[in-house]
A = this chain, B = another copy of it.
Amino acid sequence: MNVFVIGIGLIGGSLAKDIKSTQEDVTVYGIDSNDTHLAEAKELGIIDKKATYQDLQLADMVIVSIPVDVMVTEIPKILDAVPEDCVVFDVGSTKALICKTLESHPKRRNFLACHPISGTEFSGPSAAINDLFRDKTNIICEVELTAFKLQEKALQIFQAIGMRIRYMNPEAHDKHIAYVSHLSHISAFMLGKTVIEKEKNERDIFDMAGSGFESTVRLAKSSPAMWTPIFKQNKENVVETLDEYIQNLTAFKELLLQDDYEGIYNEMNNTNKIKGILKGIPLNKK
Contact = CB atoms under 8 A, between A and B. Distances in A.
A117 B214 CA distance: 12
Contacts of A118: 210-211
Q: How large is the interface on A (under 10, 10 to 19, 20 to 34, 35 or more residues)?
A: 35 or more
Interface in A174-213: 176-177, 179-181, 183-199, 202, 204-213
A245 B277 contact: no
A252 B265 CA distance: 29
A246 B253 contact: yes
A278 B217 contact: yes
Contact of A250 (B220, B241, B246, B257): B246
| Integer count of this chain's copies in the complex | 2
Given A215-B219, A282-B211, A285-B285, A268 B184 contact: no
Interface of A: 117-121, 136-137, 139, 164, 166, 176-177, 179-181, 183-199, 202, 204-222, 224-225, 227-229, 231-232, 235, 238-239, 241-246, 248-250, 252-253, 256-257, 259, 261, 264-275, 277-278, 280-285
22 contacts: A121-B212, A136-B210, A181-B212, A184-B212, A190-B248, A190-B249, A192-B271, A194-B245, A196-B271, A206-B277, A214-B283, A215-B215, A220-B271, A220-B272, A221-B275, A228-B264, A229-B261, A232-B261, A242-B249, A243-B253, A246-B246, A246-B249
